[in-house]
Structure formats: C-alpha cells, structure tokens
C-alpha cells in the first residue's frame, strides 16, 4: 500500500508537468513503474500507454475549449500514427527489454538536445506551406506511431519538436500534440491488451491521478507558461530520464 500511494503521488505530479508540455507522460510513467519493480513489458508499458492516453485526453478537453488545437493539421498525424502504433506494439514482444530501454533513451537524448538548443531561439513567425506540411506529417506520423507503439509511449516527445520546426508556436504545438497523442496512445494500448497482464488497482488509482494532474497542468500552461520555459522543461525531462535509464541499465 505505501508503494501504491507513492506511485500515485508521483504520477499525479508528472501528469501536471506533462500536460503542460503536450505529452501523455508515458516516457516517465513507464520508468516509474519499472523502478517500483513492475515488469517492463507486461505491466509498465501497457499501463503507461493507458495513462498516456488519459493524460492527453484530459488536457485536450481544456485545450480544445481554449481553441489552442490545430485540428485540421492534426488529421494526418492522427491517421498515420493510429495505424502504425499497434504494429509497433506487436513487435515489442520480439525485442529484448534491454534493447527497448536503449531505444527509448536514445530517442529522448536526441529530442532533448534539439529542444534545449531551440529554447534559445525566437518563435518562428511563418508556417511551412500546408501541402508540404500535411505530407510530412502523414509520413512522419506513421514512423513516430510505430516507434511510439514499440516503446510504449504516445509519440508526443517527437510530435512537438517536429511541429515547432514546421513553424507552429510552441503552445499550439504542445496543445495539438496532446490531441494527437490521444489516438496513438489508445491505439498502441489496444495492441498490448492481448497480453492480458494488468494490475487493475494500479491502473484505476493512477488513472484518477492523471485526470486531476493534467487538468491543472493544462490550465497553468495556457495562463502562466512562456514558450521558452516549455522548451527548457521539455528538454530537461527528456535528458534526465534518458540518463537515469542508461545508468540503471549498466549500473
């Protein structure tokens, strides 16, 4: 019971942070479950994906109400990542846990470095032409969705930097990413359901925690956060988790 309370409080705090970044939070939910000795493949990944989708859904309700989501621009990402995520989830059983952790860490190191560099740059004022933008989003969305399903994450940590590079304002990119992550997360989770290994108490309690945390986080992002702060928080979280995973793997 003390472990469950500790996990719930940690997940509550993380959902608050990740809702501000347009992420579902699985990139930290999964390591937290793993650090508390839950099996990485059969419990941590599917539970993390479920919470990822709930966090994104809860935050998106607020962002949609505030008209911060580019729904039209999100369509190619939603369709392609929704199709690809279950494929990635299927291949999870064919890859060793150590390889999955290394892939997870490598992706976060790369993205964190890019975001840290971009945090010192001004916001872009011009968007990439819509035709080119839609094409890139469709192709990239499939690749990101596959990786998301394979690693047990929603893909937001790759969606946000990609959209910022296309000219989206940071807050719009984060809000739109949260909306897209809903679909890839639940699609990826569906790919893990067949395994049937779930801790139902853990899932229910932490689901309630992420709903509360994400609602507060979304409101704070809209009203208090600056774009530079969002990018820096994004980078610090990614780099910190990647370093921790690699250290634990080889310690």
Check: CB of residue 148 under 8 Å from CB of residue 204: no
Question: Tens of pLDDT along 171-224?
Answer: 999 899 889 888 877 877 777 776 656 788 888 999 999 999 999 999 998 888
The confidence score (pLDDT) of residue 177 equals 87
Q: What tokens were used for 237?
A: 């979280």
The confidence score (pLDDT) of residue 214 equals 93
Check: CB of residue 147 under 8 Å from CB of residue 133: no
Tokens 């990402």 belong to which residue?
77
Q: What distance in Å separates the CA atoms of residue 251 and residue 244, rounded to the nearest whole number?
A: 10
Tokens 């989003």 belong to which residue?
137
Question: Tens of pLDDT along 29-88?
Answer: 888 888 888 887 778 888 888 898 899 899 999 999 999 999 988 898 889 888 887 888
Among 207, 223, 243, residue whose Cα is nearest residue 25: 207
Buried b vs exposed e over 21-35: b needs ≥16 C-beta within 10 Å?
bbbbbbbbbbbbbbe
Give the range of the structural domain holding residue 195, as residue numbers without chain letter.
2-250
Q: What tokens were used for 185?
A: 């997360």
Q: What distance in Å separates the CA atoms of residue 88 and residue 85, rounded to the nearest whole number?
A: 5
The confidence score (pLDDT) of residue 23 equals 76
Neighbouring residues of 203: CB distance < 8 A, sequence distance ≥ 6: 47, 50, 51
Neighbouring residues of 187: CB distance < 8 A, sequence distance ≥ 6: 81, 82, 83, 85, 86, 145, 149
Check: CB of residue 205 under 8 Å from CB of residue 53: no
The count of other CB atoms within 10 Å of the CB of residue 196 is 8
Question: What is the total count of domains within the chain?
Answer: 1
Q: What distance in Å separates the CA atoms of residue 178 and residue 53, rounded to the nearest whole number?
A: 9
Q: What distance in Å separates the CA atoms of residue 96 and residue 104, rounded to the nearest whole number?
A: 12
Neighbouring residues of 115: CB distance < 8 A, sequence distance ≥ 6: 160, 161, 231, 232, 234, 235, 238
Q: Which residue would you say has higher pLDDT here, 41 or 169?
A: 169
Q: What distance in Å separates the CA atoms of residue 64 and residue 70, rounded to the nearest whole number?
A: 9
Among 63, 115, 111, residue whose Cα is nearest residue 233: 115
The confidence score (pLDDT) of residue 61 equals 92
Handedness of CA 57, 27, 234, 121 (dihedral sign): negative
The confidence score (pLDDT) of residue 194 equals 65
Q: What distance in Å separates the CA atoms of residue 93 and residue 96, rounded to the nearest whole number?
A: 8
Tokens 């779930």 belong to which residue?
198
- Flag whether pLDDT at 17 surpasses 90: no
């Amino acid at each position: 019971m003390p472990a469950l309370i500790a996990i719930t409080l940690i997940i509550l705090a993380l959902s608050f942070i990740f809702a501000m970044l347009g992420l579902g939070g699985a990139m930290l939910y999964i390591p937290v479950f793993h650090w508390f000795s839950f099996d990485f493949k059969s419990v941590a990944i599917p539970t993390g994906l479920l919470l990822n989708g709930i966090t994104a859904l809860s935050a998106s309700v607020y962002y949609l109400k505030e008209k911060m989501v580019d729904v039209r621009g999100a369509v190619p990402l939603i369709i392609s990542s929704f199709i690809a995520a279950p494929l990635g989830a299927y291949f999870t059983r064919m890859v060793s846990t150590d390889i999955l952790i290394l892939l997870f860490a490598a992706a976060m190191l790369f993205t964190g470095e890019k975001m840290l560099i971009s945090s010192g740059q001004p916001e872009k004022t011009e968007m990439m032409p819509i035709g080119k933008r839609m094409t890139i989003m469709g192709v990239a969305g499939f690749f990101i969705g596959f990786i998301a399903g394979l690693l047990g994450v929603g893909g937001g940590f790759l969606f946000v930097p990609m959209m910022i590079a296309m000219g989206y304002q940071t807050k719009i990119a984060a809000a739109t990413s949260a909306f897209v992550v809903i679909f890839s997360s639940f699609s990826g989770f569906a790919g893990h359901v067949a395994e049937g290994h779930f801790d139902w108490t853990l899932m229910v309690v932490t689901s309630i925690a992420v709903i509360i945390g994400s609602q507060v986080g979304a409101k704070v992002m809209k009203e208090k956060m600056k774009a530079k702060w969002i990018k820096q928080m994004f980078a610090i979280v990614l780099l910190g988790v990647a370093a921790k995973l690699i250290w634990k793997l080889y310690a």
